[in-house]
Structure 1
Amino acid sequence: MDVAGDNWRLALTDAKVPDSGIYCCHVSTHPPMLKRFKLIVHPPEIRMSKEAFLESGETLSLKCAVVYLHPGSVEPALRWYKGNTTTPLDEQRGGVLIETDHLTLTSHLQVARLKTEDAGNYTCVLEAPLQMKAMARVHVLQGMLFHHLVITLGLALLLVLNHYPTNLNRLLYLLFYYCTKY
C-alpha cells in the first residue's frame, strides 16, 4: 500500500483477496469530507465446462480460461492432460490441437476423430505461476446411443416444460420436434 505524496491517492499494488474491504478517504476540511470505496479482489480461478457428450467420429472442443490472475513476471503455463497421466495430452495421440493465448490466458483443446477410448476426464492445468486445475468429463457415445440420449433428455425437458406453458416452451417444443424428426 502506498499513499503517494500530495495528490491524495492511495495505490494498492499486487492486491490480494485479504485486501478486499471498504476504504475511506477523510479530508480534514470544514465541513469534513468523507469518501468510501469498496474493493473486491477475486482469487484466481480456472473456468471450463464440466461435462461434454459427443458421438464417436466427432471433434472434441474444450476451452479453459484463467480469470482474475494478476499479471506477473512469470509467463503462465497451461497444459492439458487426460485421466491420471502426467504426459501432456498432445504427446499421447495424434489429432490433438492445442492453442494457448498467453495474453488472454485461454487455451483451446481439440481432439479430432473421437473414439470411445477417448472418453474420460480432461484436465486443464495452470502450472505457473500458480498451481490450479479444472476438469471436464467427456462422454463418447456410439451413433444411435447418442441420438437416443438426446431424445430422452429432450422428452424429459418437454415433460417439465409441459407444466409451465408459455410461448418460449412452445418454441422449444417445435425446435425439439424438428431436430429429432430429421
Structure 2
Amino acid sequence: MMLKITSAILAVLLFHFHRITLAAVATGSKPFPGLENLPKSFWNELSSPFTEVYEEENPVTENGSTPEPRPFFEDRDINVTVQLGAQIHLHCRVENMQKRTVSWVRRRGEEMHLLTFGVHTYSSDSRFSLDYQMPNDWRLLLRSATERDAGVYECQVSVHPPLTRTVYLSVSVPRVEIVDEHGATAGDKFYKAGSTIELKCVVSKVPHPSGYVTWRHGSRMLNYDTIRGGISVKTDMGAEGAVSRLYIANANKKDSGNYSCALADVAATTVSVHVLNGENPAAMQHGKSSSSKGAFILVVLLSLLNLSR
C-alpha cells in the first residue's frame, strides 16, 4: 500500500515537472536555472535505477481507458570510438516520447554530471551541446575530443521507473614515430654533405585517418617547399594509419636541424638531423658512442677513488 502511495506522489511530481519544463521551453528560457549546481548526489539519487519490486501495471486505467505507451530506445547500449581531436555525435533515438524529457549525463564512478536537459545545455564545457535531429534523435554533440572525454555517458528519459541507455566512449590517440631502416625509433640522424636525407614517419592507431601528414624543418613546412628544390614527400594512407617519407637531395649544412612529422594538429614527433662536412657519418655516430662510454668509465673511476680515501 505504501509503495502505491509513493508511486502516485512521484507521478504527480513528474507531471508538474514536465508542465514547468514545457512552459520554459515555449518562452526560450532554461526550465531550471542553477540546476547544474545541485549537489552531486542529487542526480545520482534521481537517476539511479530503483531497486524496489514493482507490481505489474494494469493495462487499463481506472476510467477504463488504455494508458499511453511507454517510451523505448531504438538502439541498445553501445561502445563508440572517436579519434583524438575529432567531432562525434552520441545518438539517442526515443520512440513514444509523448511529453517526457530527455537528458544526457556523464557518469564518473558514483558521480553524475548533467550535460543537457531537454533542448538546453547545462555543461560548463562549451564542447558539449544537444544537436537534435528529426524525428526522434536526441543526439549529444562533442567537439574536439580529448583523452579525458573517454568514459560512460547516459541518455535518460524521465519516466518511472527510469529509462536509461548507456554509451561507452573511447578516444583513440594516434602514435607518430620517425623510424630508421630497421623500424626502430630514430635518434639523431647523421648524413654526409651531398648525400640524400631520407626520413620515414609511421602513423599508427588511427582508424580511417582523415588528416594529412606534414613535414617541417624547424618552423618551415616542407610538403610544398619549392624554394630550395630537391625536396620530395610521399605519403601512403592505410586503413589503420599512414607511412610518409621525406627525401632531401644534395644535403648541406643548412639542412641540419630538427625535423618534425605531424598528423594534422593531433600528434607529432621530432628528430635531429646533422649534415657533416668531410666526416664519415658512421664514424661520427661511433665516436659519439665511444665518448659516452669514456665518460661513464671516468665517473666510475672517480667514484672508486673517493671510496678509497
Query: What is the deviation of 1:46?
Result: 0.8
Is 1:54 paired with 2:54?
no
Which protein has the bigger strand share?
Answer: 1
1:55-70 correspondence runs (5 A):
55-70=192-207
Is 1:118 paired with 2:185?
no
Query: What is the deviation of 1:86?
Result: 4.7
TM-score (norm 1): 0.57
Greater RCO between the two (CA within 8 Å, min separation 6)? 1
The answer to whether the Cα contact below 8 Å between 1:121 and 1:135 also exists between their aligned partners in 2 is: yes
Q: Distance in 2 between matches of 1:153 and 1:111?
A: 24
**Aligned sequence identity (%):** 24
TM-score (norm 2): 0.36
SS at match of 1:13: strand
SS at match of 1:14: strand
Is 1:83 paired with 2:215?
no
Q: Which has the larger radius of gyration?
A: 2
- Are the structure 2 counterparts of residues 69 and 120 from structure 1 closer, same or farther at C-alpha, using a change threshold of 3 Å? same
Q: Summarize deviations over 1:99-135 as a string: whole Å, max 9, x none.
A: 10011411011111111111111111211xx522211
Is 1:44 paired with 2:179?
no
Q: Please, which of 71, 76, 96 is the counterpart of residue 231 of structure 2?
A: 96
Between the two proteins, the alignment pairs up a number of residues equal to 136
User: Counterpart amino acid of 1:14?
Assistant: T
Q: Distance in 2 between matches of 1:60 and 1:87?
A: 13
The answer to whether the Cα contact below 8 Å between 1:98 and 1:108 also exists between their aligned partners in 2 is: yes
Is 1:149 paired with 2:284?
yes
User: Counterpart amino acid of 2:230?
Assistant: G
Aligned match of 2:298: none
Aligned match of 2:21: none
Query: What is the deviation of 1:93?
Result: 1.8
User: Counterpart amino acid of 1:62?
Assistant: L
User: Counterpart amino acid of 1:60?
Assistant: I
Q: Distance in 2 between matches of 1:46 and 1:147?
A: 26
Q: Distance in 1 between matches of 2:282 and 2:81?
A: 50
Q: Distance in 2 between matches of 1:79 and 1:91?
A: 15
- Are the structure 2 counterparts of residues 92 and 66 from structure 1 closer, same or farther at C-alpha, using a change threshold of 3 Å? farther
In structure 1, stretches of 5+ residues that fail to align are 21-39, 161-182
Q: Summarize deviations over 1:69-106 as a string: whole Å, max 9, x none.
A: 1226xx22111111122564633421112110011411
Q: Please, which of 11, 14, 18 is the counterpart of residue 81 of structure 2?
A: 14
SS at match of 1:121: strand
User: Counterpart amino acid of 2:175?
Assistant: E
Q: Give me the CA root mean square deviation.
A: 3.5
SS at match of 2:195: coil
